[in-house]
Amino acid sequence: MSIQGTEEVHVIPNSERNPGVPLETSWFDQIAVNTPAAERRAATLTSRRTVKKEWQAAWLVNAVRCMDLTTLAGDDTPERVRRLCAKARKPIADHIMADLGLRELHAGAVCVYPAMVGTAVKALEGTGVPVASVATGFPAGLMPLNLRLAEILYAVDHGAHEIDIVITRAHVLDGNWQALYDEVSEMREACGQAHMKAILATGDLKTLRNIYKASMVAMQAGADFIKTSTGKEGVNATLPVSLVMVRALRDYGDRTGHRVGFKPAGGMKTAKDALAWQILMKEELGNDWLKPDLFRLGASSMLGDIERQLEHHVTGRYAASSRHAIA
């Protein structure tokens, strides 16, 4: 695993983005999602799969470079956003970086509310760290579509490189796939050059089958990423839900040849979570989905635990082999 930062802002070139395809409900009308099987399979990711101690530091560093470092709180201030940006530029303490032999490392992106985009863009200028903005009436999405589209335009106009949209959950709960397709297509168009992540808010969607179908429709409508949650639902990212979404993503790739990214988000706080989700990506989709172009972890409070675990590694007996793994 080679881990290096980059000076360029990590925006997927248009030629590699998912252009979307016409809505085709026969792709998922017949699907059967076996809930107990998805739960059993997800459980093996935490109970039976482990990352060898000597490789853990490399996996944790990779989680950092794929992390959308997030602040989405009602009491956010420009000063808090600037501090978050400073953390995104230099997420790991110097002595840990030196011990692991890393020259440069930054977070995958910073994720903020639209009103904070300008502050974040300025704070991250020249660093290569993209700014993601939530939009479209985050977190509930219960606003008229024209205002939700205007919010995207505002964020893009202020320099956001990525837009995290929310879908109308009622379209999924009513089985109105055409309405879902139409709104996501319009949002995608409003994003222009910015790269669009579609938040499904899976905790609101009731069944894994709904989650599979919503994933497929969002991709058909041109989402560059599908994302589990806003962090504000009662249940946010879980492994069974993520498994169903990545399998939808694989099915979409098989049908169309387009690669779509995955962003689990909400409620993930530990280094152990970071490992479990990376194992899922590697086992289901392979190493390409362990890179920030196709994988992000959306989290406001996971970095602290990762830094603590890395500190243990560099002060412990595994430091030398981890250094070797990252080189």
Ligand X SMILES: O=C[C@H](O)COP(=O)(O)O
* 227 catalytic residue (yes or no): yes
What is the DSSP pairing of strand 225-227 with strand 195-199? parallel
Q: Which stretch binds ligand X (CB under 6 A): 45-53, 146-154, 177-185, 229-237?
A: 229-237
Q: Which helix or strand (DSSP H or E) is residue 143 part of?
A: none
Under the criterion CB under 6 A, does residue 304 sit at the interface with ligand X? no
Contacts of residue 54, Cβ cutoff 8 Å, sequence gap at least 6 = 318, 321, 322, 324, 325
Q: Which is nearer to ligand X, 116 or 265 (CB)?
A: 265
Q: Which is nearer to ligand X, 112 or 290 (CB)?
A: 112
- Residue 232: is it exposed, middle or buried by C-beta count within 10 angstroms (0-12/13-18/19+)? middle
- DSSP secondary structure, 65-85, as one string: HTEEEE---TT--HHHHHHHH
- Residue 32: is it exposed, middle or buried by C-beta count within 10 angstroms (0-12/13-18/19+)? exposed
- DSSP secondary structure, 274-286, as one string: HHHHHHHHHHHH-
Q: Which is nearer to ligand X, 100 or 302 (CB)?
A: 302
Under the criterion CB under 6 A, does residue 267 sit at the interface with ligand X? yes
In angstroms, the CA 148 to CA 137 distance is 6
Under the criterion CB under 6 A, does residue 222 sit at the interface with ligand X? no
Q: Tell me the closest approach of the beta carbon of residue 70 to ligand X, in angstroms.
A: 4
* 164 catalytic residue (yes or no): yes
Under the criterion CB under 6 A, does residue 130 sit at the interface with ligand X? no
Q: Tell me the closest approach of the beta carbon of residue 298 to ligand X, in angstroms.
A: 3
* 263 catalytic residue (yes or no): yes
Contacts of residue 46, Cβ cutoff 8 Å, sequence gap at least 6 = 239, 272, 276
Under the criterion CB under 6 A, does residue 301 sit at the interface with ligand X? yes
Q: Which is nearer to ligand X, 87 or 209 (CB)?
A: 87
Under the criterion CB under 6 A, does residue 100 sit at the interface with ligand X? no
Among the listed residues 198, 265, 276, 326, the single contact to ligand X using CB under 6 A: 265
Q: Which residues are catalytic?
A: 164, 227, 263
Binding site for ligand X (CB under 6 A): 70, 72, 111, 230-231, 236, 265-267, 298-301
